[in-house]
Amino acid sequence: MIKQKEKFIVGIDPDVDKSGVAFLSGNQLQLDNLTFFQLFDYFNEMKKKYPGLEVYVECGFLNKSNWHKKSDRSAAFNSKIGEHTGANFETAKKIVEMCEYLKITHYKIKPTKSKISNDYFKAITGYTGKTNQEQRDAFMLIFGR
């Protein structure tokens, strides 16, 4: 019988303030929200602890169109949406750059899935702790890999 190599995978949902982080190894699931520099420390630790670590980063900038306008809102409101979206895209690019710098295997993932509810998340994972949308989004990047 051939023993399958255990996978150590991390999903990252980038955000300017705190990125959603999901770590999966076998049936061990850990969720967190980390600032940019906390993420750097996290990657350094995980790289030492888990050889063969793979990171999946959601990269919204890979979508052809990223127009997030609300037609019933002001130009100032819509410009704030664009500003926030651009800042998140830059965070994703910097996280990818961080993985390259640390020589961690990583993949840029184009967002395609819609948001999932906490109830659905718990149903598919059996996870009993509290979650937020960023953590669930991070998990969906690695679900089934």
pLDDT tens digits along 5-62:
688 999 999 999 999 999 999 889 999 999 999 999 999 999 999 989 999 999 988 8
Let me know if residue 4 belongs to a domain: no
Residues of the domain holding 46: 9-142
Q: Which residues, at least 6 apart from 102, have a Cβ–Cβ distance to it below 8 Å?
A: 43, 44, 47
Determine if the pTM surpasses 0.75: yes
Label residue 115 by pLDDT band (50, 70, 90): confident
CA dist 130 and 122 (Å) reads 10
Let me know if residue 3 belongs to a domain: no
Contact 122, 128 (CB under 8 A): yes
CATH code at position 52? 3.30.420
Let me know if residue 83 belongs to a domain: yes
pLDDT at res. 76: 61
Let me know if residue 124 belongs to a domain: yes
Q: Report how many domains make up the chain.
A: 1
Let me know if residue 2 belongs to a domain: no
Let me know if residue 122 belongs to a domain: yes
Let me know if residue 36 belongs to a domain: yes
Each residue's pLDDT tens digit, 61-93: 888 765 555 566 666 655 565 556 667 889 999
pLDDT at res. 69: 53
